[in-house]
A and B are shown apart, each in its own frame.
Chain A
Amino acid sequence: MPKNNPAKPWRVIPGFGLTLGLTLGWLSVLVLIPLTSLFVMASGLSLDQWLAILADTRVQAAFRLSFGGALVAALINAAAGLLVAWVLVRYDFPGRRLIDAMVDLPFALPTAVAGIALAALYAPQGWIGQLIEPLGIKVAFTPLGAIVAMVFVGLPFVVRTVQPVLEDIDSEVEEAAASLGAGRWQTFTRVILPTLAPALLTGFALAFARAVGEYGSVIFIAGNFPGLSEIVPLLIVVRLEQYDYVGATAIAAIMLVASFVLLLAINGLQRWNRDRLSRGAA
């Protein structure tokens, strides 16, 4: 008989120590140590160096565009993603399954390909560019172009977080609201939207996080004018190409901290979302 020591539970399945050890080892070597090296480098900077980097108007402008642009793009994605999810779940129309599958295209299409395609579309001679240019709207080589690319890369997130929740909504609740005299719009804003809120917010945060760090699809269409249409990841690359490792590391460290804060927020949102779902099912 195997020993049954209460302090160390007897396990039927073998390989715990081996697989956990390999997991932790590989995680450390490939992910944790490299990321730590960035913070160690950044912590070696003096206060004066930090202040000089933060006072640089080019750096400030890049952060404004990366975070401001990502915010606008995520808001657009929240609205459009909700609409797409609604249409895919609630209505039946020819090609629905094909379109459902297409939504994940931004996950599968390499960012450089998306970048040059969008740049070609919105350039002054491009299919879209030549339609909007006479109206005085310039997208390519402006901050607007960066936002268009950010909308593209963030597109699947809201759809894919809202869709399953929408599928699970009990039709009885809507019928009850309708029988109590609520109009369709009232039912939507008072009953459906509050149920979707955690998923919608999660999708919004995921799209925002993705857009903040996005590089490949943005740089071709944005034109990358310093202080105007230059995003933070590109500024890091510029600093590296100038062999300014200190500058690149400092900017990257700020970005990374922002990403971790976002990650924590997203984890919290997802927990909220799950709790709501399981309470709804109970």
Chain B
Amino acid sequence: MRRDESSLIRWLLIALALGFLGLFLVLPLAAVLAQALGKGTGAYFAALTQPDAWAAIRLTLLVAAIAVPVNIGFGLVASWAIAKFDFRGKSLLISLIDLPFSVSPVISGLVFVLLFGLQGWFGETLRDHNIRVLFAVPGIVLATMFVTFPFVARELIPLMEEQGREEEEAAIVLGAGGFKTFLTVTLPNVKWGLLHGVLLCNARAMGEFGAVSVVSGHIRGLTNTMPLHVEILYNEYDFVGAFAVASLLALLALLTLVAKSALEWRLRDEISALRQS
């Protein structure tokens, strides 16, 4: 019985698919590298060691160092509540947690301008107490936490639901406390899924552009993250500088993909083992 395409059609389809992916995935990456190194490695490293570039790198690391751990905490708490208990409105809650994914990045930034800007709800109070949120680091952190909000939670909820509650119940019946059960039973069970969520959350936290752009005010050396710095340099026609910083972000994306794929193979094995047992 002929169930497969002829090898001519098969190779034609493979060629078409690879052509499309080459055009949209490989060429942009190659362009980043070619532009960054367009004037030689000397210019490339000179661009990366600019003080403004360093400030942008430091700020990006700082923002991720705050936003990602907060996201891990929220993800663990939310998935414990959702996966280990039954209550009404659970699916609505899951949809609400996913909400930031469907909001345009620009709007994610705008809502914080409306809250903390001078004309905003808390604008005057903040000014009276001399607290800067907008056009300062707190605003950038808030906007980043908003756009990364669902990452860890949506990774852990289905995983913990699949794993069930028997192990935790057994630990508690045997006398372990709730927190100890979480640390010694739940956490080891979800560690790979957690890491998977953290990777994606971190990539988004370091790479977020639209939301951060609206709240940052683009102050060089002070409130510029790496993606914002890329934009400024690009608009000033400093292409080597823009693509040099962009190449670091592209490297981060590639490392994220490698680690993510390795984890996915592992997770797939674990889940199939879980289903067989």
User: A-side interface residues toward B, CB under 8 Å?
Assistant: 11-16, 19-20, 22-24, 26-27, 30-35, 37-38, 41, 80, 83-84, 86-88, 91, 93, 97, 99-114, 116-118, 120-121, 126-128, 151-152, 155, 171, 174-175, 178-179, 184, 209, 212-216, 220, 232-234, 236-237, 240, 245, 248-249, 252, 255-256, 259-260, 262-263, 266-267
Contacts and interface: CB of A to CB of B under 8 A. Distances in A.
A110 B206 CA distance: 8
B208 A110 contact: yes
A24 B261 CA distance: 32
Interface of B: 1-5, 10, 13-14, 16-18, 20-21, 23-29, 31-32, 35, 74, 77-78, 80-82, 84-85, 87, 93, 95-100, 102-107, 110-115, 117, 119-121, 142, 145-146, 149, 165, 168-169, 172-173, 177-178, 181-182, 200, 203, 206-210, 213-214, 226-228, 230-231, 234, 239, 242-243, 246, 249-250, 252-254, 256-258, 260-261
Contacts of B213: 215-216, 237
Contacts of A27: 78, 93, 96-97
A114 B115 contact: no
Given A32-B96, A34-B112, A213 B107 contact: yes
A252 B146 contact: no
A248 B210 CA distance: 15
Given A12-B169, A112-B246, A249-B110, A216 B77 contact: no
A88 B257 CA distance: 17
B105 A233 contact: yes
Contact of A83 (B10, B13, B113, B253): B13
Residues of B contacting A: mostly: helix
Contacts of A33: 115
Given A41-B114, A240-B214, A267 B95 contact: yes
Contacts of A236: 106-107, 110
Contacts of B5: 184
A101 B261 contact: yes
Contact of B257 (A87, A102, A111): A102
Given A102-B25, A216-B210, A30 B149 contact: yes
B209 to A, nearest CB: 4
Contacts of B178: 13-15
A237 B210 CA distance: 9
Nearest to B177: A14
A248 B26 CA distance: 36
Nearest to B181: A13
B27 A128 contact: yes
Contact of A16 (B24, B85, B177, B227): B85
Contacts of A213: 102-107
B210 A91 contact: no
A174 B3 contact: yes
Contacts of B145: 30
